[in-house]
Amino acid sequence: MKKKTFAFLLSLIMLVGALVGCSSESGSEETDSGSEDEVVKLRMMAYNAESTRTTYLKMLDEKLPNIDIEFEFVALDNFNNVLNAQLQAGEGPDIIEVGGEAKLLAKANYLLDLSDKDFTSKYADAGLKPYSIDGGIYATPLQSWFEGIFYNKKIFEENGVEVPKTWDELIAISKKLDENGVKPQIMGAQSWEPMMKQSIGLVNNEFYADEANSEFDNKFNEGEAKLAEAWLPAVEEWSKIIDEGILTDDMLGLSYDQALDQFATGKAAMWESGPWAVPTILEKNPDIELGMFPIPGKEEGPGWLIGGPGSALAINANSEYIDEALKVLEVTATEEAQLALVEDNAGSSFLKGVEVDLGEIYTDSEEAFKAGNVYAPWTAVWTSGNPIVQAYGKSLQEVLAGAKTVEEALQDADETNDNLRNTLN
């Protein structure tokens, strides 16, 4: 497919909020990078803030004195607009933080194929799969991301409730907390993300945990399977949390930051999010006794977290400094770099042999981690993942408002998948 067609597709995806001047010859590995003393400036564009990469960037500076990395943060809600415009103008960054749209960028020939580089073999297949297409590998993973349900241990203890092992137990303790005058769970439902992720936690427990469904996502990519059929029982189970009045329509007016503040200051017992929120929570309330448990299923078990490869580093195929960019990815594929990444943003590593102690906050999630129960299908397998889950999440906001059913929300996601697949074809 020609670049022009893909440029149109990427522009289309930007409109629904998805996660993106030299010739190819000038970016080849034969590029003359000058003398050994010459410092080459590489531009790295990312949607995770520099504060989440501080230790890692300092390590790169020490290991690669002849490379000066100019870190450019662009907020996620505008990241694709900026990146896509620059790539189409031939002015894109040398190194790009990529997520759910890596495969589309690779198909548009914007990303360098890394499959023949030795450092890619150091990563587990699970970390490379989201960034692989047609036999090529177009990015290498940074630390994983995961989300569960944070809870205030002191509030739980004072109200005589324990970490739930089933979804019905979660409903039951939420009712007890509410009866005791405690808001059970807060959610910044002004964003479409948290309900989307929490509902997929039930899908992980009830659908993806069954080996018989292991090929579903590939079939979904091809239009041979529908969410509205396969996921419906699990999402209807999740929606009990709306039916029972635990998630309420007034939460549609709450932002992420407002929900975080309510949880951190003890105004709610539970809140869905991930490790990136911990520094802010502790800053607001240093004395909070914080824990995280995985999203439970209908039956008792280890539960599931939402997550997987969080983001990855790719190289602009048209960069002037491909050799230098490759050195950055080579250094990143070391234990020292992986531990540096985790230092400022907790997660596990996909580099073989690297183990990370996540700490006491995540003790209740250990069994889920040990079982490998961490999954987010839109980042792991789906070709057009981000626009699909955005359509689904926005429709769940309408479910919370009483304007749609969960089946209609899933149908909206299916329709988005069909439309984007037809555009690709």
Q: What is the mean pLDDT of each run of 10 residues along the chain (425 residues)?
A: 46 41 33 60 94 94 97 87 92 92 87 97 87 92 92 98 98 98 97 96 96 93 96 98 97 96 98 90 96 97 89 95 98 96 85 86 90 86 86 97 98 95 80
Coil, helix or strand for 409? helix
Copy the structure tokens of residue 268: 């709610």
Which of 190, 361, 335 lies closest to 275 in space, CA to CA? 361
- How far is Cα 158 from Cα 142, in angstroms, rounded to an integer? 39
pLDDT computed for residue 36 by the predictor: 56
Give the relative orientation of helices 3-15 and 406-424 as an angle to the nearest 10 degrees: 160
* Homologous superfamily of domain range 146-307+377-418: Periplasmic binding protein-like II (3.40.190.10)
Which amino acid appears at position 180 of this protein? N
Domain boundaries, the chain: 3-143+310-352, 146-307+377-418
pLDDT computed for residue 33 by the predictor: 40
- How far is Cα 125 from Cα 300, in angstroms, rounded to an integer? 29
> 401 phi and psi, to 5 degrees?
-80, -5
- How far is Cα 260 from Cα 422, in angstroms, rounded to an integer? 39
Which option is the CATH number for 3-143+310-352: 3.30.70.600, 3.90.1520.10, 3.30.479.30, 3.40.190.10? Answer: 3.40.190.10
- How far is Cα 292 from Cα 274, in angstroms, rounded to an integer? 9
Which of 272, 281, 333 lies closest to 304 in space, CA to CA? 272
pLDDT computed for residue 40 by the predictor: 95
What's this model's pTM, rounded to 2 decimal places? 0.75
Which of 317, 319, 315, 316 lies closest to 33 in space, CA to CA? 319
Classify residue 165 by its DSSP letter: S
pLDDT computed for residue 324 by the predictor: 97
* Rounded alpha-carbon distances, angstroms, from residue 17 to 48, 223, 360: 16, 22, 35
- How far is Cα 285 from Cα 263, in angstroms, rounded to an integer? 10
Classify residue 38 by its DSSP letter: P
- How far is Cα 60 from Cα 70, in angstroms, rounded to an integer? 12
Upper half-sphere CA count for residue 318 (Cβ side, 13 Å): 16
